[in-house]
Amino acid sequence: MIEKERLLKLSELDSNSINQMEDSQLGVFSDAAASFINEYPMLENNIKDALKADDRSAVFKSLSAVCEMLRRIYAENLAAKCSDYIGKAEGTPHEDLQTFVIDFLKAVSALSIDLQMLEHQDISKAAAEQIAVSFKAENNILAVDDVNFFLRTIKSILRDSGYNVTCVNSGSMALDYLKAHKPDLFILDIDMPEMDGYELAREIKNAGHTAPIIFLTGNARKDSVAKAVQAGAVDFIIKPVRKDHLLERIGKYIKPETKEDE
Say whether both 10 and 84 belong to one domain. Answer: yes
Say whether both 233 and 140 belong to one domain. Answer: yes
CATH for 169: 3.40.50.2300
Say whether both 139 and 241 belong to one domain. Answer: yes
**Can you tell me the mean pLDDT for 232-254?**
91
Q: Which residues span the domain enclosing 136? A: 123-251
What DSSP letter does each residue of 177-219 carry, written as one string? Answer: HHTT---SEEEEES--SSS-HHHHHHHHHHTT--S-EEEEES-
Q: Domain for residue 144, yes or no?
A: yes
Give the confidence band of 129 by pLDDT, cuts at 50, 70, 90.
low
Instruction: Go through 115-125 and write b for each residue having 16 or more CB atoms within 10 A of its CB, e for each that does not.
Output: bbbebbeeeee
Q: Domain for residue 74, yes or no?
A: yes
Final residue of a structural domain among 97, 118, 139: 118
- Kindly tell me if the per-residue pLDDT of 19 is higher than 60: yes
CATH for 70: 1.20.120
What angle, 0 to 180 degrees and rounded to 10, lies between the N-to-C axes of helices 197-206 and 171-178?
A: 20
Say whether both 144 and 80 belong to one domain. Answer: no
Say whether both 130 and 208 belong to one domain. Answer: yes
Say whether both 111 and 50 belong to one domain. Answer: yes
- Please say whether the dihedral angle defined by the alpha carbons of residues 106, 245, 235 and 150, taken in this order, is positive or negative: positive
Say whether both 137 and 244 belong to one domain. Answer: yes
- pLDDT at position 119 is 80
Q: Domain for residue 206, yes or no?
A: yes
- Kindly tell me if the per-residue pLDDT of 132 is higher than 60: no
**Can you tell me the mean pLDDT for 97-121?**
92
- Kindly tell me if the per-residue pLDDT of 222 is higher than 80: yes
Say whether both 222 and 106 belong to one domain. Answer: no
| Cα–Cα distances in angstroms (integers) from residue 85 to residues 51, 52, 81, 104, 201, in the given order | 15, 19, 6, 10, 39
d(CA 240, CA 155): 14
Q: Please indicate, yes or no, whether the overall pTM of this predicted structure exceeds 0.95.
A: no
What element of type H or E holds 168?
A: strand 164-168
Say whether both 161 and 137 belong to one domain. Answer: yes
What element of type H or E holds 154?
A: helix 148-160
d(CA 258, CA 55): 49
Q: Domain for residue 259, yes or no?
A: no
Final residue of a structural domain among 118, 136, 159: 118
Say whether both 128 and 113 belong to one domain. Answer: no
Quick count: other Cβ atoms within 10 Å of Cβ 40? 22
Between residues 23 and 17, which one has the greater pLDDT? 17
Q: Domain for residue 262, yes or no?
A: no
pLDDT in tens, 159-204: 999 999 999 999 999 999 999 999 999 999 999 998 999 999 999 9
Say whether both 189 and 84 belong to one domain. Answer: no
**Can you tell me the mean pLDDT for 74-85?**
96
Q: Domain for residue 198, yes or no?
A: yes
Our count of domains for the chain comes to 2
- pLDDT at position 73 is 96
Say whether both 150 and 244 belong to one domain. Answer: yes
What element of type H or E holds 237?
A: strand 233-238
Final residue of a structural domain among 75, 102, 118: 118
- pLDDT at position 137 is 59
Q: Domain for residue 261, yes or no?
A: no
pLDDT in tens, 24-55: 888 899 999 999 999 999 999 999 999 999 99
- Kindly tell me if the per-residue pLDDT of 23 is higher than 70: yes
- pLDDT at position 125 is 46
Mean pLDDT of the chain: 89
Q: Domain for residue 82, yes or no?
A: yes
